[in-house]
Each structure stands twice: as C-alpha cells, then as structure tokens.
Amino acid sequence: MLWFKKIAMLIVLIGVVFTVQADEIDSTNPYKMMHSVADQTFNRLKAEQPKVQSDPNYLKTIVDEEMMPYVNYQYTALKLLGPNLRGADKKEVAAFIDEFRAYLITSYAQVLTQYTDQKIQFSQEKAIPDDRRVISIPVEIIDNDRPNIKLDFTLLKNNKTGEWKAYDMVAEGISLLSSKQSEWNTKIRQDGIPAVTQELKVLAKKDIVFEGNK
C-alpha cells in the first residue's frame, strides 16, 4: 500500500508537467516545455480548485484537453502489447490503444486529486544531439509534508516534427512502462487483447473520487 501511494504521488507529476494548451508550448525543446507546462498547470489547478472540488470528474476534462497532447500514449500502448502484436488483429489493436488512452485519462485525473501545491525542481538543461531520439530528464518533487521524490521522465522525439512527448517514467529505478508490461503481458497471452481492452474500458469509466469521500 505504501508503494502504491508513492507511485501515485509520482504520477501526479505527469499530470502536472504535461498539462497545458497544445498550441502554447514549443515541444521541440523538452526542458523548456516541461518548465512552461508545469508553471501554467500549477496556476490553473490553483485557480480551478473550487470547480474540481464540486465536480471531481472535471479533472478528466483537464487531462483530456490539455495533458494528452504531450503524452505519446500510442507508442506506450504498442510497447505494452510487445510480442502480442505479432499476428494481432489491427482493429483489436486500435481498440486497445483507444481504451488505453481513456484509462490514462482516468488514472491521471484520479491521482491529481492529491494535488496540494507541490513544487518541482528541474535538472539543468543539457545540449541534445540532433540524432538523439530518446532522452531522460530528471526532476524532483518538493513536498513540505513528505520526503522529496526523485524521478526521471523518458521522452521520445518525433523525427518528422521535432516534437518531444513523454512515454515513460522511472521511479526508484523502476520503469512504470516495464512494470505494466510484466503485469499485462501474461493476461494478454492468456485472455487475448479484447479481454484486456474491456478491462481498461471499465477502469476508464470510473468516477473520480477524493480520498476522504471514498
């Protein structure tokens, strides 16, 4: 349970770092993108707390409209399917990607209920070679009530547009993508892609609930 809560706090930063209007941020510089998005997102969450408190599901709207443009959920979903992609029906794969996106929205929105004005400290910007496609950016969550949390975001560059998007996060040496691969690969092998897609669909439809109201 303690590990779950720690991971939950880490996921908050995904919802915080990559939340903003897509046309306002230059995604070709991942460091500046993270700085700008974090600043604007904290300001918005502060300003809209009354609305969020009265309608927690509003967090899904925030995530859907402003966070997802900066998350490469398609790439992550395909990585999660891994070897199960061999011979897979294209329609089943497309449905899995759609429901995985919806699942992410609900997951991020639920974790954002833990927002309590945390601060973020970014690593110093480094030069990125033109041919580099994947980078890791260390950040640290500064929380007055808890020990600081160190983690690394993994971002993938689109070679055509030059834009960067997040697809994984490493916390305490553990990749969330890898952990989900281990969790879901067996189930996909045993029950098939549609079964896991249906499970994601059910999870995605859950209401957002503040901890004290559960």
Distance of CA 54 to the CA centre of its chain: 24
Q: Is the pLDDT of residue 53 over 50?
A: yes
Does pTM top 0.75 for this prediction? yes
**pLDDT tens for residues 136-187?**
988 887 777 777 777 788 999 999 999 999 888 887 778 878 888 888 888 8
Q: Which DSSP category does 144 fall into?
A: T
Please state, rounded to an integer, the average pLDDT across all residues of the chain.
81
Residue 165: which of 124, 95, 104 has the closest Cα?
104
- pLDDT confidence bin for 24, thresholds 50/70/90: low
Name all domains of the chain by residue range, CATH numbers in brackets. 2-23+31-207 (3.10.450.710)
Q: Is the pLDDT of residue 3 over 60?
A: no
What single-letter amino acid sits at 111? V
Stretch 93-115: mean pLDDT: 88
Query: Which residues fall within 8 angstroms of residue 141, CB to CB, at 6 or more apart?
Result: 9, 10, 12, 13, 118, 119, 120, 121, 148, 149, 151
Task: Write down how long the chain is.
Answer: 214
Q: Is the pLDDT of residue 212 over 80?
A: no
Residue given tokens 């975001």 in the structure block = 153
DSSP character string of 78-111:
HHHHGGGGTT--HHHHHHHHHHHHHHHHHHHHHH
Inter-residue contact 176 to 184 (CB < 8 Å) = no
- pLDDT confidence bin for 23, thresholds 50/70/90: very low
Spatial distance between the Cα atoms of 59 and 131, rounded to a whole number of angstroms: 37
Q: Is the pLDDT of residue 207 over 90?
A: yes
In angstroms, what CA-CA distances link 207 with 95, 104, 109, 113? 21, 13, 10, 12
